[in-house]
Amino acid sequence: MSAGLWQLLVAVSAFLAKAAAQETGAAPMVPALFVFGDSLLDSGNNNNLASLAKANYLPYGIDFAAGPTGRFCNGYTIVDELAELLGLPLVPAYSEASGSSQQLLQGVNYASAAAGILDESGGNFVGRIPFNQQIQNFESTVAQIAGSAGGTSAAASIVSRSIVFVGLGSNDYLNNYIMANYETRRHYTPQQFADLLVIQYASQLTRLFKAGARRFVVAGVGSMGCIPTILARSAEGRCSEEVDQLVAPFNAGVRGMLDGLNAGLPGATFTYLDNFRLFKLMLAHPASYGKIARAQQNSENVLLVACMAWPLMNKGCVRAGFDVVDRGCCGIGRNGGQMTCLPFMPPCADRERYLFWDAYHPTAAVNVIMARQAFDGASDVVSPVNVRRLAQL
């Protein structure tokens, strides 16, 4: 089967799943979605922190129904789309939901911009909630659920059947290892640093298991060598293969580590989302992925998916795709990456044609693709099972 046909089938399958859930009011596939991560997933936890990493101002959220919420994007994050595919409401930020036990029952987002696997990562941004603290917040949530759901057994049942999405590691590189004011690179080779991160990560994921989580989606670190802030460091705006090679041993180590956890933790399933591969594919074939993204965001009928994938089938189809892959939609300087999106700065008008929203983060159109690949993708992207299968276990 060709790559284009497989992309189409994934798009159609995810589209139908989401449409069916919305139109029939079907029960969610899982009780809840719990999210851990950094600015790629943050939905507002940094808003009230003394932090330089915030996105609670326009034009962030310009395409999100509630406007600026603290999401580092123009619209949906990966986990927003994933929640809808699972039949759940968008999960609230922990900073908003922690005072209400009822809000916690369908999931919580603990992600914090600038957070890392290591507590010290992201320190240049001052306030942030590292993964260790996010886990502690989750442990408090489980206790709150027990108090409102009828005891520890009821809470254990809810948590064990829920999906846990974890996406960390980017800041351990961008805002630690390759930062000039950190000593890390002088003390560790890339392989040694990857090993350090993976050992810590395994301990943290095991802690989530001990708190009751059983169904995990762990995203690798995406391709960072072509993000606008890295492109802007080159006078020619070239991608940095060196940066991508830095994260390669980490991603390989995480895959092996998850295999070990699957074998060693009874009742747990850890699935790996290869968003590095996905983003490389989008960079290599931007028009193809853009066509599918536009089709997915139009909920009128599934025929539009085929129309966008094969425009020659219908004279009324408009050929569209990701046309801009080397600059942020909202940013300043070379490649829109020398300074990220500032308050009330006018963004680009045709956001669906851009891979990057700002100097660091993808657009909502990219996030939708990532989520739908996680939900229904093949084993070369998400393994050993995709999220749909994980939810059915």
Residues 335-358 have a mean pLDDT of 95
Q: Which of 65, 81, 79 is nearest to 15 (CA)?
A: 81
Backbone angles phi, psi at 215, to 5 degrees: -115, 105
Question: What domains can be seen in the chain, in order of their start residue?
Answer: 27-294+316-391 (3.40.50.1110)
pLDDT in tens, 355-376: 999 999 999 999 999 999 999 9
Measured CA to CA, the distance from residue 128 to residue 52 in angstroms comes to 9
Residue 327 · residue 336 · CB < 8 Å: yes
Contact predicate 41/169, CB 8 Å: no
Q: Which of 80, 244, 274, 358 is catalytic?
A: 358
CB 34 within 8 Å of CB 110: yes
Q: What is the mean pLDDT of residues 109-124?
A: 98
13, 39, 121, 170: the active-site residue: 39
In the chain, the amino acid numbered 79 is V
Quick check: 8 pLDDT over 70?
no
CA distance 229 to 235: 12
Q: What is the pTM of this model?
A: 0.89
| Residue from 38, 223, 361, 376 carrying the catalytic annotation | 361
Per-residue DSSP letters for 153-186?
A: HHHHHHHHTSEEEEE--HHHIIIIIT-TT-SHHH
Q: Is residue 114 very low, low, confident or very high in pLDDT (cuts 50, 70, 90)?
A: very high
How far apart are the C-alpha atoms of 83 and 358, rounded to whole Å?
24
Is 323 a residue of the active site? Answer: no
pLDDT tens by residue, 174-198: 999 999 999 999 999 999 999 999 9
Q: Which residue has the higher pLDDT, 102 or 304?
A: 102
pLDDT of res. 289: 84
The mean pLDDT of 244-254, rounded to a whole number, is: 97
Q: Residue 387: is its pLDDT beyond 60?
A: yes
Whether the per-residue pLDDT at 78 is higher than 80: the answer is yes
Residue 338: is it exposed, middle or buried by C-beta count within 10 angstroms (0-12/13-18/19+)?
Answer: middle
Does pLDDT of 227 surpass 50? yes
pLDDT > 60? residue 10: no
What pLDDT score was predicted for residue 293? Answer: 54
Percent over 70 (pLDDT), the chain: 86
199, pLDDT greater than 70: yes
- CA-to-CA distance for 263 and 250, rounded, in angstroms? 20
Is residue 361 flagged as an active site residue?
Answer: yes
According to the model, what pLDDT value does residue 95 have?
95
- Least confident range from 46-60, 96-110, 288-302: namely 288-302
